[in-house]
């Protein structure tokens, strides 16, 4: 094996991951994600095994989405912590989607079910089911066990469990998706003995009403437990990274408890790459701004414009075109790095003035390349963002000079630069004092000749987990052919890049540089419609209408797809003897629309009602679908 391959398999043994319950349970599934699953009958036994070193992690259900803490395991964890001894940490959280079914031995008629067996937290989230069926809840320690038990006992009994557990026990599914919590997922904690590992969750154990209030104010999520003598108010809390600084100020006074289950909140995690401490520091996403232009941390940008600034008129025309399309910054080269020394080298600083005037006219910041340290100072006087080209990605003197210029710097990845080398290059810029570094993947050199470069989306995604800096993709230089640019742009956008850089020209055949890869302004417009970008202040009504048309086409296509799915579900309902109309389900559909349309609640219900009525019609419902 190649020892330098940090992403490859290592000889670290698979952790032993204990869980409470039986194979086939949701806990077993969560444990399999944390290591080699080992079953324990009770939470207390599981935690004793953890303290004794018989398992490496204990995987405990801690909270249900929307339904608060799972008290039994958290109570057991509280007992283990109160007993003292070995310090523990919450290392990670694993969310397992939970789909619960009601299942009974074959031959049990649905309406005859009088007992419903399951685990207490599961029974609690099926209150509506229990009420509707007028059944008695029977507590078991595990959902898979409930399924087996019901199969053994027979009679008018049913279990709430996963579909897999039901089938495994030979039961028949009477009803699907029976939880009141929708969508339903359980968040499991992997609890371990205290180590040096970097946790992904910051959890703490506390008691005292004052601390509960302070944690709540600090934005912590509180998982409250039932009071105990001497600790009437207490439980666990998780603190998001953004709130850690606030929570760090909290200390327990007498009679209170505050135990961090892992490193203290002021602990500074080490950078993800030792040699690039600034670029790979573990921190919230960096948002790079230049005036109204902002990219990173959820803000997405498109930098567009010609490869080279050719004349004042050309750049003014294209500035208007890209602003109208919805671009958020204007690009244009004034110093052009060309493979051939006899090719057009750019119009230099004179063209920078033309670029600046064009940007100002449409209200867009300008991005332009610097090729030599001596160009940095004069270019930085006018340019909003300095670009370092692929050929200069590892030109360290240039990186240092650009980093000290007081402007954000966009660093393009070299054709032969690894992700680590690229991040190390960014480190030079950051070390020189620049905080706003943008990273742009523009195609690397591979054996492939049908494209100019190979857009390395895998490398971009790998960089995403290493750096807080905004990541952009340049599909134009990667493709070298305009017909491939929209596809690559969509792929990069879909992969979650913070921004794109796209070359645009209105007369590509006579462009002085990179004509074959330039999109026409109208092509850019269509692409940015798809991304939901809109023109700035120089936009036009017609342009916005085109965006509305594109949305309408999508809605129409989605409505058609929805009707198709309604017909499909009707077939399944008929085949399994279920009624066509399900009012609980209709309420869920309405709630979803109300959630996304928010304050426009009346409009939301109008839209939902129309879709539901169309759906019922498609399903062959013969009643009055509009009546509720």
Query: Which residues are at the interface with ligand PEP (CB under 6 A)?
Result: 307, 333, 337, 389-391, 412, 442, 474, 477
Q: Which is nearer to Mn ion, 514 or 525 (CB)?
A: 514
User: Which residue reads 């940090």 in tokens?
Assistant: 6
Q: Which of Mn ion, ligand PEP, none binds 390 (CB below 5-8 Å, type-dependent)?
A: ligand PEP
Q: Which is nearer to Mn ion, 175 or 514 (CB)?
A: 514
CA distances from 436 to 74, 282, 464, 470 (A): 43, 16, 16, 9
Q: State the residue number with the nearest CB to ligand PEP.
A: 389
Q: Segment contacting Mn ion (CB under 5 A): 299-307, 388-396, 401-409, 598-606? A: 299-307
The b/e string for 17-31 (b: 16+ C-beta within 10 A; e otherwise) is bbbbbbbbbbbbbbb
Beta pairing partners, 102 = 160, 175
Q: Which is nearer to ligand PEP, 24 or 389 (CB)?
A: 389
CB atoms within 10 A of CB 144: 26
Which of these, 586, 622, 585, 621, lies nearest to 605 by C-alpha position? 586
Q: State the residue number with the nearest CB to Mn ion.
A: 307
- Tokens read off for 554: 């999508």
- Length of the chain as a residue count: 628
User: Which residue reads 């000749």 in tokens?
Assistant: 449
Beta pairing partners, 88 = 193
Q: Which is nearer to ligand PEP, 36 or 391 (CB)?
A: 391
Q: Which is nearer to ligand PEP, 161 or 438 (CB)?
A: 438
Asked if 310 touches Mn ion (CB under 5 A), the answer is: no
Q: Which of Mn ion, ligand PEP, none binds 337 (CB below 5-8 Å, type-dependent)?
A: ligand PEP
Decide: 310 and 512 in contact? Cβ < 8 Å: yes
The b/e string for 146-167 (b: 16+ C-beta within 10 A; e otherwise) is bbbbbbeeeeebbbbbbbbbbb
Minimum Å gap between C-beta 376 and ligand PEP is 16
Asked if 307 touches Mn ion (CB under 5 A), the answer is: yes
Minimum Å gap between C-beta 373 and ligand PEP is 17
Minimum Å gap between C-beta 341 and ligand PEP is 15
Minimum Å gap between C-beta 355 and ligand PEP is 13
The residues in 72-131 that bind Mn ion, with binding defined as CB under 5 A, are none
Q: Which is nearer to Mn ion, 514 or 619 (CB)?
A: 514
Q: Alpha helix locations (H) across 284-406?
A: 312-325, 349-362, 373-382, 396-403
Here's the x/- map for Mn ion, 250-289, by CB under 5 A: it reads as ----------------------------------------
CA atoms within 13 A on the CB side of 537: 7
Minimum Å gap between C-beta 474 and ligand PEP is 6
Contacts of 27 (CB under 8 A, 6+ apart): 19, 20, 21, 59, 61, 142, 188
Q: Which is nearer to ligand PEP, 412 or 505 (CB)?
A: 412
Minimum Å gap between C-beta 501 and Mn ion is 10
Q: Which is nearer to ligand PEP, 148 or 477 (CB)?
A: 477
Minimum Å gap between C-beta 486 and ligand PEP is 18
CA atoms within 13 A on the CB side of 82: 18
Asked if 384 touches Mn ion (CB under 5 A), the answer is: no
The residues in 503-522 that bind Mn ion, with binding defined as CB under 5 A, are 514
User: Which residue reads 């557990």 in tokens?
Assistant: 165
Number of residues in contact with Mn ion, rule: CB under 5 A?
A: 2
Contacts of 530 (CB under 8 A, 6+ apart): 490, 550
Identify the three-state secondary structure at position 59.
strand
Q: Which of Mn ion, ligand PEP, none binds 389 (CB below 5-8 Å, type-dependent)?
A: ligand PEP
Q: Which is nearer to Mn ion, 307 or 484 (CB)?
A: 307
Minimum Å gap between C-beta 307 and Mn ion is 3
Task: Round to whole Å and give the CA distance between 305 and 332.
Answer: 6
Q: Which of ligand PEP, Mn ion, none binds 412 (CB below 5-8 Å, type-dependent)?
A: ligand PEP
Question: Cis peptide before 183, with omega less than 30 degrees from 0?
Answer: yes
Binding residues for Mn ion, rule: CB under 5 A, are 307, 514
């Amino acid at each position: 094996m190649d020892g330098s391959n940090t992403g490859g398999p290592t000889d670290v043994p698979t952790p032993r991951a204990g869980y409470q319950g039986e194979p086939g349970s949701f806990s077993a599934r969560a444990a399999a994600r944390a290591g080699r699953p080992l079953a324990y009958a009770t939470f207390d036994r599981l935690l004793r095994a953890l303290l004794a070193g018989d398992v490496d992690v204990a995987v405990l259900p801690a909270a249900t989405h929307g339904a608060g803490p799972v008290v039994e395991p958290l109570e057991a964890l509280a007992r283990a912590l109160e007993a003292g001894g070995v310090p523990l940490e919450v290392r990670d959280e694993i969310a397992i989607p939970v789909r619960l079914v009601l299942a009974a031995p074959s031959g049990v008629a649905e309406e005859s079910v009088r007992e419903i067996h399951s685990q207490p937290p599961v029974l609690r989230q099926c209150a509506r089911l229990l009420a509707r069926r007028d059944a008695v809840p029977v507590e078991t320690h595990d959902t898979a066990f409930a399924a087996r038990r019901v199969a053994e006992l027979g009679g008018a009994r049913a279990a709430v469990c996963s579909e897999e557990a039901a089938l495994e026990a030979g039961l028949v599914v009477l009803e699907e998706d029976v939880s009141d919590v929708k969508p339903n997922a359980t968040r499991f904690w992997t609890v371990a003995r205290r180590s040096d590992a970097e946790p992904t969750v910051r959890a703490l154990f506390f008691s005292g009403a004052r601390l509960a209030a302070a944690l709540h104010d600090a934005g912590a999520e509180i998982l409250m437990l039932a009071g105990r003598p001497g600790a009437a108010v207490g439980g666990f809390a998780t603190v998001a990274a953004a709130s850690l600084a606030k929570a760090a100020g909290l200390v327990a006074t007498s009679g209170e408890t505050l135990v961090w289950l892992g490193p203290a909140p002021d602990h500074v995690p080490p950078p993800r790459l030792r040699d690039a401490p600034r670029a790979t520091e573990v921190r919230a996403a960096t948002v790079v701004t230049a005036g109204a232009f902002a990219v990173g941390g959820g803000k997405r940008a498109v930098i567009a414009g010609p490869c080279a600034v050719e004349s004042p008129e050309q750049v003014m025309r294209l500035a208007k075109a890209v602003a109208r399309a919805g671009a958020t910054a204007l690009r244009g080269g004034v110093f052009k790095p060309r493979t051939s020394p006899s090719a057009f080298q750019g119009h230099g600083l004179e063209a920078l003035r033309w670029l600046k005037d064009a940007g100002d006219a449409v209200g867009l910041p300008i991005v332009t390349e610097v090729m030599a340290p001596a160009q940095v100072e004069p270019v930085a006087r006018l340019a909003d963002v300095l670009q370092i080209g692929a050929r200069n990605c590892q030109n360290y003197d240039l990186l240092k000079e650009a980093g000290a210029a007081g402007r954000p710097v966009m660093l393009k990845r070299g054709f032969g630069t690894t992700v680590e080398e690229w991040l190390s290059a960014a480190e030079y810029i950051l070390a020189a004092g620049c905080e706003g570094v943008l990273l742009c993947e523009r195609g690397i050199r591979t054996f492939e000749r049908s494209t100019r470069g190979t857009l390395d989306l895998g490398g971009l995604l790998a960089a995403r987990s290493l750096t807080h800096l905004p990541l952009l993709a340049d599909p134009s230089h990667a493709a070298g052919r305009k017909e491939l640019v929209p596809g690559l742009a969509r792929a990069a956008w879909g992969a979650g890049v913070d921004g794109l850089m796209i070359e645009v020209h209105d007369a590509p055949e006579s462009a002085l540089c990179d004509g074959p890869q330039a999109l026409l302004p109208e092509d850019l417009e269509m692409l940015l419609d798809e991304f939901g970008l809109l023109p700035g202040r120089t936009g036009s009504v017609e342009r916005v209408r085109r965006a509305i048309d594109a949305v309408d086409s999508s809605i129409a296509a989605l409505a058609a797809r929805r009707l198709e799915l309604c017909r499909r579900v009707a077939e399944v309902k008929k085949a399994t003897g279920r009624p066509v109309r399900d009012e609980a389900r209709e309420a869920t559909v309405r709630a979803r629309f109300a959630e996304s349309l928010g304050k426009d609640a009346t409009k939301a219900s109008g839209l939902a009602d129309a879709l539901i009525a169309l759906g019922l019609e498609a399903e062959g419902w013969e009643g009055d679908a509009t009546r509720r």
